[in-house]
Amino acid sequence: MNCRNMVRHGHLFCALLLLPYPAFAQGDRATSPPEFARRADNLKPGQWVWAPQVSPTGPLLVYVDLSRQIATVYRNGVRIAVATISSGKEGHETPTGVFTILQKDKDHRSSTYNNAPMPYQQRLTWDGVALHAGGLPGYPESHGCIHLPYKFSQELFAITSLGATVVVQGNAATHMRTSQASLLSPINDKGEQVEYRPLKDEEYRWQPELATSGPLTIIVSKKEQRIVVLRNGTEIGRSVAEIKDGDPGSHVITLTTGKDGKTHWLYVGLPGHENDVENVVDEAVLNRVRLPRGFYDKIRSQLKPGTTILVTDSSVGASTGEKLTIMDAVAPQP
């Protein structure tokens, strides 16, 4: 059966709304969709974007790219925030590597540099390297620390815990302004490179054994016509899909248990859709996503309250753009 004859998909991927999504100022708390964060090369010094609703639970990772002077925050493997930074200047270069947060102090002052304030300090090394709020001139100018925008450092401080992973890579001397297109983390919460494996001549891939517990996040990428399933930040499934929707915005729903004891998909109130908060998803919008029957059945068996679905225009990895024939599709029953 080819894509023209694929039957309509049912109630799993029902977060595709038809309302236009407004633009938001860079730096507004909890107002930026992942598409906005994706355009990190457009951020000016001191600007940041923050969208924690797109992945509310799971392991946290901070990925600092010295070459681009950008810090990206991932939760459950999904990008939720991006900020400009300023790292160590020549002679005081910020070290690269995989670090953990050793200490947190929101009112810290430097014991080395004239008692200088280091608000929302998160220590990475005992010899003085840390994340904290600081000056952001648009180039490396610190004494080795990673300076963040003040409000961004405050938000980050609130969601991190001791032991969280911070990966620092790149070279500040070769500053670049190119954006990392994929919505997914290039590093896992152990600081290891994540291997990207695109679909080739297969309709879908399903490997639940790669992560047997933790929160489930399902990403519907309109840009690449792909669906990716993450559990505890690890990709366990990827499938081709046919996603027809002209709305450029991001939409999020979550699976909850109602007072009637039954599970329901509810909208998350992203900006522009605040009135959708806790509204049950309308089944009138269930004809936008089509996917292989086998993949749908495997996902359905894993659904639990707390599962998040993110519908986005962001990339989920390099796409070959090839058109595949769907041999088995389904219209699931609600």
pLDDT tens sequence across 276-299: 555 565 554 456 788 899 999 999
Predicted confidence at residue 276, as pLDDT, reads 53
| Residues 243-276 pLDDT 10s | 877 766 677 778 888 778 888 777 665 555 555 5
End-of-domain residue from the set 174, 209, 240: 174
Task: Give domain status of residue 192, yes or no.
Answer: no
Domain co-membership, 218 together with 287 = yes
Task: Give domain status of residue 213, yes or no.
Answer: yes
Task: Give domain status of residue 27, yes or no.
Answer: no
Task: Give domain status of residue 180, yes or no.
Answer: no
Query: What is the Cα–Cα distance from 6 to 159, expressed in whole angstroms?
Result: 42
Domain co-membership, 43 together with 121 = yes
Task: Give domain status of residue 308, yes or no.
Answer: yes
Which domain CATH number covers 151? 2.40.440.10
Task: Give domain status of residue 187, yes or no.
Answer: no
Domain co-membership, 18 together with 38 = no
Domain co-membership, 308 together with 217 = yes
Domain co-membership, 161 together with 41 = yes
pLDDT band per the 50, 70, 90 thresholds, residue 182:
confident
Predicted confidence at residue 223, as pLDDT, reads 86
- Is residue 198 within 8 A of residue 169, CB to CB? The reply is no
Domain co-membership, 48 together with 141 = yes
Task: Give domain status of residue 64, yes or no.
Answer: yes
148: tokens are 């963040």
Rounded to the nearest integer, the mean pLDDT of the chain is: 78
Q: SS3 of 186, please?
A: coil
Q: What is the DSSP letter of 214?
A: S
Task: Give domain status of residue 144, yes or no.
Answer: yes
* pLDDT(332) > 50: no
In the beta sheet, which residues pair with residue 49? 82
- What is the percent of the chain with per-residue pLDDT over 90, rounded to a whole number? 40
- Is residue 120 within 8 A of residue 135, CB to CB? The reply is no
Domain co-membership, 167 together with 217 = no
Domain co-membership, 170 together with 244 = no
How far is CA 329 from its chain centroid? Answer: 28
Domain co-membership, 165 together with 244 = no
In the beta sheet, which residues pair with residue 193? 187
Domain co-membership, 144 together with 254 = no
Domain co-membership, 98 together with 223 = no
Which domain CATH number covers 205? 2.40.440
Domains in the chain, number: 2
Which residues form the domain of 224? 3-22+197-312
